Structure 1
């Protein structure tokens, strides 16, 4: 025998002995002890019949026990806090019995009676009631009740000894399924084992891994919480039965400190109410808690009706046993009236009536308007229909439906007993029971094997543990403004559905969470680290608490709860979710991005402007300003500038083998051609002024043929350098794959850096020579000195390319290409604007200056 079993037997034995001392062994011999027992007998609501059904209902939530000195007659116990909900359950039992008696088809010629006791929510009174009705007097072969698991545990141990069947309507403790300890216990209430299974699946469904558990200090609360507890729980608290404010405040403080957003309260509605009766100051920080309710209070009107609970409990969720409609029950509930002679024998009616109407049925003393308790007198003419409360509310018949099923289960068992065929019975020698003298152990056999269907189609039967089929409604407390809290069914749990993950079904779109939110609240100490993250141990926390660290850029994890992330290969990069390596994005100066489009427009505009200048010069080619300084060189310079603008386009677009070779050679040759033309014009300016001296023969050495030769020779040198470059080590596409970047940068590798330096150096050499010569000729006496314009253009050209070198070296990725294109365009615009803009100004706007006389006039 286990230690727990032994402890329960000792408790039951002590309670039994205590009651037997008061009851004097149930003797009926006229002794004084008989008088004491009679004076201490429990109130009972009874009705005679051929077969008497016992009932245990906790009509009061608490009771003050009398002092037992054993030297004087003890006072009667005083009950407190009348429970309208339980009173409805009791009336449902009476309604079912009277319905069966009126019908007469299930048990013809047999009248059912009842003996119903108030167990006052205490094991002591539950045991006294069971002893009085079943054990001592032996008039009750079966007991319906009790509600609380703690009371049922005590009663079931005693009734089990005598094989008296007990059918509970509300006791759900999983411990009562042990048939070795409770052989005569059955119930129409599913075991907490199934409820906890449903709660566990609910928690898993929403991904909550950091859940607090608060339990009532009784068999129901502790048993259910112990089944639910796992290896990692945010907190585990017990609501004390004395409901001390300090203890409740400590629980509230622990809830707040745990940071858990989901709290399961596995307790009776009285204990849950004590928890939520904390002061308004203590509620700070708790309005965002999502409460999970055990079925004991998941539809409790005592918590859903008062407005003081609405801000805290709105959005609460819990499982409730299935509800049903019982036709005619509400009318039956309204029949009660203290003036009705049929109700005079009801010992509970006075308490019910006075509590319902807050009045007193006692006649006040003469001259007093109220009784001694300060309540106005009841007239007896009050109508129950005029008051709406939990007693007359039949919209959520759940436990009442369990009571109704329990009565019919017993009746169907009695019907099966009556249908027994002699010689084919289930007992010794195949005998049948005697319905005129029903033996409890025989009735127990038939109840265990009963199978019947209710009027709404529910099949009622008990498994080998005396438990019914577990089916729950998942209810959500939804706030409806002035209408208060409404219990909305948002899912169900069906234990009979054996399909994988199909027991729990939820309509998530219909859920309103705490605060009328539609988003599922998050409550995790540490969620499962999804792909794309890795686990990092959180110091000084339970093993289930860890941090999920996102994999670094370029690293991935494609499984959950990995410890280390894997690095991608150089040509790959991690996706945004860090779950897979994908090819890196290719980056280059494209015609489609904003920078490429800008450079394209600037380049085309430059070439278009140059063409406009060519057109202007062509139209005015006979004018002095065009003919001055060799118009052929001017046109050649404009053509080369057009090519300079257009060569920048070769730098835009995806690099290829041919584009890489073309862009650098085209750039080198066109710019040398351009600078060669400027050099030729500069030399012509200098020689022209020197040739005006008497006896000078210099001009014959710098005629048009010689000028063309200079241009061809200079350009040919650059062409030779480019040819050697392309032959030995040409530019080629290059993929730059930095590990810290998600980009593959497509560039043109210069190939031979020496050749690239020679190309730039040669351009720089010609530019410097041209600048030097133009500088020498800048002050020659003339109204229109082209050398001055060339000087400015060469200063801009040299400044751009001097700044280009460090910028090109330091620019990352495609921006080095952008820098080179910018240098080409800037220097080209500098040459075009400085050399040709003044000439176009004179041609178009100041034609009076476009004369040989004006141009030849010396200044200075």
Structure 2
């Protein structure tokens, strides 16, 4: 299929223009390529500002009532309000285009006099009243205004392209729906969700506007802008925009500081009043602490804003140094009178623009275009004269004007007046014409193949109806010359996305638009918006640093937001996180707790893994306690060896030698039990720690008690007639040891069978540490074990204390008294110390108590005997013992 090349010829307001004859030739070539022969007419009519007379509306009503295909003598009808600019080329099929270029300057309606309309070369503001008139002209004769009547049967309007502004598009859609003519808008969005039902023949060459709203929110979130200003056009569309965007902003944590409504357009006699009112809005924008402005509106509103910014330097008003977030309906274009106006205010703006691409050959065509190519095209003539400030009509030339040579180059125009690249709106018109052309192609191919070629073409072109184009247009899908796929969804909206554009405005008037990202509504969640931050150029006032736009300073990590009473939720104070909680990001709503195995750092800005806390062999405390335990084991073994070597000496045989061996072995095991408390707790060590310690120490204390009772009974038995002799012997001592030990063993067995100790982690007791410990299961059982040992120690101490005055050579009660005093002192101080410490130090306290109490028993009981055995052997004999006994008697 032959490609159609669209051109863009903006006038002073930079609206899209097309080379009618060029497009006609290209579309005709399509059908010539498939063996067809037809004529295509592209008719463009401008709509002008003015007053639609009542007769026009009545005529429309009459025409609709009479019928759709009545033939009349068009020469008998005069046009009550002729359009000064239009271009019509006769053909079998007509594609109509509605563009905006020529305007009437008029005052507000008073109904007291005939409205005066004066055509001027510069527009003031848009008005859509003449849209009806221009659209009806497309449905009328080439030279006569006869809407709804077929004056030239060969002029068959089968599609409309336009317009760019929503109100214009909907006005055209009213008429196109009546005639069942498909209409393709190239820049406007449907104003309501019901518009598709109201205007079923309306196609949008843009995506659904809801996608743009979501993209705006994602853009603000991307840059963390939470405090913005809203500016919206003061009409129904602006109202609906605010109704949709404000809740979306709030739901995504974004607040607006103010809402400024921009006028849509104004009558000339109301223009000064409008400007005075807008100064209040200007002051609002300047004074508020907002660096980002989200602005919504269409081209007429942009002109109002341009004038306000132009007048600001002449008054003591500071410039607006903000980041402008602009919706796709805006266009940075100028009237010829505005082309010298500085627009540095918009430097660095970010806008959602209609996706565009560059068709092949477009740049070359733009560089070669000349006004002489378009004879009779008033659109091009006006644009050329206004853009280059010259006159093409020598007969109307005035001395103050210069004559256009016709060889002026469009590349020499400033970017604010004319861009050399195809913009989004131009690209949409390009795709719209191609969509209609592809639809014709599909219709032609489906036409009967059994007819002769000439008859087939004649019948085809005579019978093509707009509703037939509509039926196929909604299913059209093709690749254009720029490589993009063009097709519509079920709602008649183009399946496409938006370009994110960064606008660069230079003092010399040149404008550069840089694509910095893309909004793809069809992309997976999380990838719909893509932005290259490094490409963005910000306004000069921000020194190329990412602007901040927040109500107040951000709350740094370690703080959380605290709502200010009476303010919006984006305005807040910062409160330090409570103890044990953190905030790891800026502006967190609430502080959070760290996971169990982590703890807050000093700044409470992040969680740090906790240090594992247990008494290990590698640290100094563990090494010292290990050395002490092993040393006491060696000393105990040495004492046991000495006693076994000198087992037949009187001092060893005295007070039951077997009890001495049991006591020494139990003390040895006590010192070894201390090693169970060192190292990372395991399942086995937790089961053995307290139970082994309790049983072994109970055996030791039982042996001490038995030795003490034996001494007492021995002296009582020496008295004449004493009945105690039958109790003196090994049987009583063994029974005491066995009974006392079995009781402790029973307590430990009950403990292990009900709720045994197990390895556990304590993440709460010590800040920043995880205590790896043995959970005692039932703490009451642990204290029962300690209490029973305490009872044995106290009983032993009392008995030994009562026997302390017996002869030293016959008993060791005096030394047992000292040993029990040490033992009781150690364990009485153990309880409060143990309860007041945590982690490895609690374990160290218990180990120290075991070692010190065991060492007390070993030292106090056996050191005097070892002294005599090793250093005073002369005292270790029976005679010496008898002499000392006599002395004592």
Are 2:674 and 2:850, in contact at CA under 8 Å, matched by a contact in 1? yes
Corresponding residue for residue 608 of structure 1 = 630
Are 1:173 and 1:224, in contact at CA under 8 Å, matched by a contact in 2? no
Correspondence 1:90-109 to 2 at 5 A: none
1:75 aligns with 2:108: no
Correspondence 1:248-647 to 2 at 5 A: 267-268=297-298, 294-296=327-329, 321-336=354-369, 346-354=381-389, 383-386=409-412, 389=415, 393=419, 397-411=423-437, 442-443=465-466, 445-446=468-469, 448-450=471-473, 451=476, 453=478, 454-455=480-481, 467-468=492-493, 470-473=494-497, 475-476=499-500, 486-490=514-518, 492-494=520-522, 506=527, 512=533, 594-595=614-615, 597=617, 601=623, 604-613=626-635, 641-647=667-673
Corresponding residue for residue 720 of structure 1 = 739
Give the deviation of 1:666 after TM superposition. 0.8
Corresponding residue for residue 98 of structure 2 = 56
Could you tell me which runs of 5 or more consecutive residues in structure 1 were left unpaired when the two chains were aligned: 1-11, 82-119, 356-360, 366-370, 495-501, 524-537, 543-573, 578-591, 688-697, 699-705, 781-785, 854-860
1:760 to 790, 799, 803: 790
1:65 aligns with 2:106: yes
Are 1:682 and 1:774, in contact at CA under 8 Å, matched by a contact in 2? no
Correspondence 1:695-774 to 2 at 5 A: 717-727=736-746, 730-733=749-752, 734=755, 745-747=775-777, 757-767=787-797
Give the deviation of 1:147 after TM superposition. 0.5
Are 2:822 and 2:853, in contact at CA under 8 Å, matched by a contact in 1? yes
Are 2:358 and 2:421, in contact at CA under 8 Å, matched by a contact in 1? yes
Are 1:640 and 1:670, in contact at CA under 8 Å, matched by a contact in 2? yes
Paired with 1:667 and 1:600, the residues of 2 have a C-alpha distance of 22
Corresponding residue for residue 128 of structure 2 = 123
Paired with 1:211 and 1:760, the residues of 2 have a C-alpha distance of 75
Paired with 2:389 and 2:874, the residues of 1 have a C-alpha distance of 129
Q: Determine helix, strand or coil for the equivalent of 1:334.
A: helix
Structural RMSD (CA): 7.3
Are 1:213 and 1:233, in contact at CA under 8 Å, matched by a contact in 2? no
The Cα offsets for residues 558-586 of structure 1, whole Å up to 9 and x where unpaired, read as: xxxxxxxxxxxxxxxx9979xxxxxxxxx
Give the deviation of 1:540 after TM superposition. 11
Seen in structure 2, the aligned counterparts of structure 1 residues 666 and 752 have a Cα distance that, compared at 3 Å, is same
Seen in structure 2, the aligned counterparts of structure 1 residues 53 and 796 have a Cα distance that, compared at 3 Å, is same
Seen in structure 2, the aligned counterparts of structure 1 residues 512 and 788 have a Cα distance that, compared at 3 Å, is farther
Give the deviation of 1:185 after TM superposition. 4.3
Corresponding residue for residue 241 of structure 1 = 263
Give the deviation of 1:504 after TM superposition. 6.3
Give the deviation of 1:796 after TM superposition. 4.7
Are 1:239 and 1:248, in contact at CA under 8 Å, matched by a contact in 2? no
Seen in structure 2, the aligned counterparts of structure 1 residues 771 and 265 have a Cα distance that, compared at 3 Å, is farther
Q: Determine helix, strand or coil for the equivalent of 1:826.
A: helix
Paired with 2:329 and 2:425, the residues of 1 have a C-alpha distance of 10
Are 1:212 and 1:263, in contact at CA under 8 Å, matched by a contact in 2? yes
1:156 aligns with 2:201: no
Seen in structure 2, the aligned counterparts of structure 1 residues 481 and 458 have a Cα distance that, compared at 3 Å, is closer
Are 2:699 and 2:737, in contact at CA under 8 Å, matched by a contact in 1? yes
Paired with 2:521 and 2:774, the residues of 1 have a C-alpha distance of 54
Give the deviation of 1:173 after TM superposition. 0.9
Q: Determine helix, strand or coil for the equivalent of 1:487.
A: strand
Give the deviation of 1:150 after TM superposition. 1.0
Seen in structure 2, the aligned counterparts of structure 1 residues 281 and 664 have a Cα distance that, compared at 3 Å, is farther
1:663 to 693, 698, 721: 693
Paired with 1:388 and 1:776, the residues of 2 have a C-alpha distance of 123
The Cα offsets for residues 794-827 of structure 1, whole Å up to 9 and x where unpaired, read as: 6654432222344567789999877544421233
Seen in structure 2, the aligned counterparts of structure 1 residues 246 and 73 have a Cα distance that, compared at 3 Å, is closer
How many residue pairs are counted as aligned between the two chains? 657
2:87 to 41, 46, 50: 46
Paired with 2:329 and 2:246, the residues of 1 have a C-alpha distance of 18
Are 2:183 and 2:202, in contact at CA under 8 Å, matched by a contact in 1? yes
Seen in structure 2, the aligned counterparts of structure 1 residues 852 and 267 have a Cα distance that, compared at 3 Å, is farther
The Cα offsets for residues 321-340 of structure 1, whole Å up to 9 and x where unpaired, read as: 54333122223333456799
1:17 to 27, 30, 53: 53
Corresponding residue for residue 3 of structure 1 = none
The Cα offsets for residues 589-646 of structure 1, whole Å up to 9 and x where unpaired, read as: xxx9623657865554223212554688899999x9xx99879999997765433212
Corresponding residue for residue 269 of structure 2 = none
Seen in structure 2, the aligned counterparts of structure 1 residues 753 and 744 have a Cα distance that, compared at 3 Å, is closer
